[in-house]
Structure 1
Amino acid sequence: MQQEDDLRGLAKTADFMRGVSVLFLAVHLYWFCYGTLAEAG
């Protein structure tokens, strides 16, 4: 039972980190590609 709880907690942590990394990637692309995106409209 303890091992299942550990795996569930690890999965939640991995999902959270995945979400944070996607958000960080979106902010990074916006920050460094703003000029190109502004020219494209």
Structure 2
Amino acid sequence: MTFRYGKQRQTLANRCKSLHYNAAISISFGYIFSIFNRNKV
């Protein structure tokens, strides 16, 4: 029971980690894109 619970918690933590990672990537891409647009205009 405890092993199963720990495994579930681990997958949840990994999911949160990947979510934060994706958010950071999208934010950095948006920032670079806005800079490129500013330089273009």
TM-score w.r.t. structure 1 length? Answer: 0.76
Q: Structure 2: which 5+ runs fail to align?
A: 1-5
Q: Deviations over 1:1-41 (max 9, x none)?
A: 111000000000000110011000000001112144xxxxx
What do you get for the CA RMSD once the two structures are aligned?
Answer: 1.1
Report the identity percentage: 14
Q: Structure 1: which 5+ runs fail to align?
A: 37-41
- Runs (4+) of structure 1 moved beyond 4 Å? none
